[in-house]
Structure 1
Amino acid sequence: MDYAGLAEATAEKMWLYRRDPDGWQSCRRTGEVAVSWRPSAEFAGNVYRADGTVPARPQHVWECIKPVAGGLRTKWDQNVKDFEVVETVSDTVSVCRTTTSSAFMKIISPREFVDVVLMREYEDGTMLSAATNVEHPLCPPQPNFVRGYNYPCGCFCIPLPGEPDKTQLLSFFQTDPGGYLPRTVVDSFIPASITEFYSNLTKAVKTLTA
């Protein structure tokens, strides 16, 4: 499989989503993030757009969210139980496996996701992590997990001109959790988990920079 090509195509989709303001419907708002959605063109679910400002420098925010082995994400993100790099494709592309704990009062059992992930920094200082689901011979489905699928998704860490201690974090989530969950459960859980992600990230960067 052309993992590098797929990763590049996913990054391009993130830029298309970022530039396309049409059709997003607001569904949740907190002091930290505004979440909106529209029907996905990738699968029979929704793509979610989350836009918030994190009170920390882009490098510190990136340190908390970057998808690397031994990274900080498993320490602060309550939805991520484990993260491992299955194959390093290049300096910027890897195939990764993420496992999650049970959630939503244990209505949602533990999940596993296998994705190709791209990380890139742009000339203006913006950093992007983009991912989409793949199959990998070293990652057959495991019996204790339901296999879920991330469709093109990602996070932009965007510097704010004149505000070096703040970061715009623009994220796109597009997840099919798999299994036999009612659509109403999925449509309630994902926006709630996104706002929790931003809240926990804000706490994590404060701890990192304290």
Structure 2
Amino acid sequence: MDLSWATQESEAVAEKVLRYRRDASGWKKCREGNGVSISWRPSEEFPGNLYRGEGILCGTPEEVWDCVKPVAGGLREKWDDNVNSFEIVQSITDTLCVSRTSTPSAAMKLISPRDFVDLVLVKKYEDGTISSNATHVEHPLCPPKPGFVRGFNHPCGCFCEPLPGNSGKGCELLRHL
């Protein structure tokens, strides 16, 4: 994959996801429980909705990030029942890669297993926030996987943010957009 294109595309995705994070307008809460809040709003870019999940987790930023960061053999594969496998198809830089995620069938197998190929950028911000930012890409090393439907991710991301005023307490706000 071309480094210049991948860098430009991933930075544009990161900016878009950061705008989603900062824009509080129009979000409607649809579910809340066990310390997690799920909201939605209509997308301005595609027919459908954007969804946002938020929760507060106790731990240092690094401990929380270790649970969700996009790495092969990482903790997410162990705790997230919606991830069968995760692999790095191509490492482009130390913060930019192409990944492949396989998910199981859902809704009593009415929804087929999915196979997602994404360009992923990890960013660190001055306030201590760590984010992963991703969008669908085609990659020659990732032909369709037999028995899976190729999934398509619009720009999305996960933010691990230090809670304001909670310095030293080790609690983080986790947002998934």
The normalised TM-score by structure 2 is: 0.92
The amino acid that maps onto 1:156 is F
Q: Give the aligned partner of residue 186 of structure 1.
A: none
Once residues 32 and 152 of structure 1 are traced to their aligned partners in structure 2, the CA distance between those partners, rounded to angstroms, is: 25
Q: Give the aligned partner of residue 171 of structure 2.
A: 166
Pairwise CA RMSD: 1.3
Select between 146-155 and 31-40 the one with higher mean Cα deviation: 31-40
Q: Aligned match of 2:152 in 149, 155, 163?
A: 149
Once residues 85 and 107 of structure 1 are traced to their aligned partners in structure 2, the CA distance between those partners, rounded to angstroms, is: 28
> Counterpart of 2:170 in 1: which secondary structure?
strand
Q: Give the aligned partner of residue 8 of structure 2.
A: 5
Task: Give the structure with the higher percent helix.
Answer: 1
- Report if the CA contact (8 A) 1:42-1:151 is conserved: no
Task: Determine if the alignment matches structure 1 residue 88 to structure 2 residue 91.
Answer: yes
TM superposition shift of 1:47: 0.7
Select between 150-159 and 25-34 the one with higher mean Cα deviation: 25-34
The total of aligned residue pairs comes to: 172
Task: Determine if the alignment matches structure 1 residue 53 to structure 2 residue 60.
Answer: no
Q: Give the aligned partner of residue 131 of structure 1.
A: 134
Q: Aligned match of 1:63 in 56, 61, 66?
A: 66
Deviations 1:65-87 (A, max 9, x none): 00012211111100000000011
The amino acid that maps onto 2:91 is T
- Report if the CA contact (8 A) 1:25-1:36 is conserved: yes
TM superposition shift of 1:42: 3.4
> Counterpart of 2:126 in 1: which secondary structure?
coil
- Report if the CA contact (8 A) 1:141-1:147 is conserved: yes
Structure 1's unaligned 5+ residue stretches are 173-210
Q: Give the aligned partner of residue 17 of structure 2.
A: 14
TM superposition shift of 1:104: 1.9
Structure 2's unaligned 5+ residue stretches are none
The amino acid that maps onto 1:162 is N
The amino acid that maps onto 1:158 is E
